[in-house]
């Protein structure tokens, strides 16, 4: 199961097409719409959580892009719960950006949020479940 929070920006010509319906029907994906707006000049903006099998998910995204919809993944704000983190370092095996790194010689494990790409690999790799995904609620208001 693969799931991501996405923002969709529809150009004027697609705003009235049943694209979400097609996502469900053609690609076997499920969705949860958090916000949907049509702006005065008829472009649309939507925030939704899209879930499904990873390959279907990727095909679905390709379909959206082929319609000229701008798709961005949003809201993945990764935080570390420092009360849960016990400073082992296991997460540094998977972190591709070096946001999680070991300070030597103290062997402290630090988290640099500015370097984090929100790839989420650390979330399941952390034995203490200290890495958490927070949705950026600012986008929904």
Partner 1 sequence: MPKASFSRTIEEINKKIRAGKAVVVTAEQMGEIVKKSGPEKAAKEVDVVTTGTFSPMCSSGAFINFGHSKPTTKASKVWLNGVPAYAGLAAVDIYIGATEPTEDDPLNRVHPGQFKYGGGHVIQDLVAGKKVELLATAYGTDCYPNREIKKKVTISDLPYAMLFNPRNAYQNYNCAVNLTNKTIYTYMGVLKPHAGNANFATAGQLSPLLNDPYYRAIGLGTRIFIGGAKGHVVGPGTQHNPRAARGPNGVPLSPAGTIMVMGDMKAMDPRWVAGVSMLGYGCSLAVGIGIPIPVLDADMARFTGVTDEEIFTQIIDYGGDYPKGQAHSLGKVSYAELKSGSIRFNGSDVPTVPVSSYVRALEIANILKGWIERGEFLLTQPVEGLPSVERAE
Instruction: Give the binding site for ligand SF4 (CB under 6 A).
Output: 78, 80, 85-91, 94-97, 99-100, 109, 116-122, 126-128, 130-131
| H or E, element range at 119 | none
Distance, CA of 31 to CA of 114 (rounded, Å):
29
C-alpha distances out from residue 17 to 12, 25, 52, 98, Å: 10, 14, 22, 42
Least distance to ligand SF4, CB of residue 48, Å: 21
CA 37: distance to chain centroid?
Answer: 20
Name the residue nearer to partner 1 (CB basis): 93 or 133: 93
Whether the Cβ atoms of residue 37 and residue 97 lie closer than 8 Å to each other: no
Query: Strand 44-52's sheet: what is its strand order?
Result: 30-38, 44-52, 2-10, 70-73
* Spatial separation of the C-alpha atoms in residues 5 and 77, rounded to whole Å: 11
Interaction partner, residue 107 (partner 1, ligand SF4, none; CB < 5-8 Å by kind): partner 1
Among 5-13, 30-38, 65-73, 99-107, the segment contacting partner 1 (CB under 8 A): 99-107
Residues 20-49: x where in contact with partner 1 by CB under 8 A, - otherwise, as a string = ------------------------------
User: Site for partner 1 (CB under 8 A): which residue of 40, 41, 66, 104?
Assistant: 104
Binding mask 106-125 for partner 1 (x = CB under 8 A): xxxx--------------xx
CA distance 16 to 125: 42
Nearer to ligand SF4, 50 or 116 (CB): 116
Q: Where do contacts with partner 1 occur on this chain (CB under 8 A)?
A: 1, 84, 86-90, 92-94, 102, 104-109, 124-125, 127-129
């Amino acid at each position: 199961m693969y799931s991501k929070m996405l923002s969709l920006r529809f150009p004027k010509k697609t705003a009235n097409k049943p694209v979400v319906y097609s996502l469900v029907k053609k690609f076997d994906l499920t969705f949860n719409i958090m916000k949907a707006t049509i702006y005065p000049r008829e472009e649309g903006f939507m925030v939704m959580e899209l879930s499904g099998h990873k390959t279907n998910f990727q095909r679905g995204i390709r379909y959206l892009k082929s319609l000229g919809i701008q798709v961005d993944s949003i809201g993945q704000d990764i935080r570390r719960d420092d009360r849960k983190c016990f400073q082992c370092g296991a997460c540094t095996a998977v972190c591709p950006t070096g946001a999680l790194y070991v300070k030597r010689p103290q062997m402290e494990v630090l988290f640099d949020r500015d370097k984090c790409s929100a790839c989420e690999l650390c979330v399941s790799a952390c034995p203490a479940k200290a890495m958490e995904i927070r949705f950026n609620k600012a986008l929904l208001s």
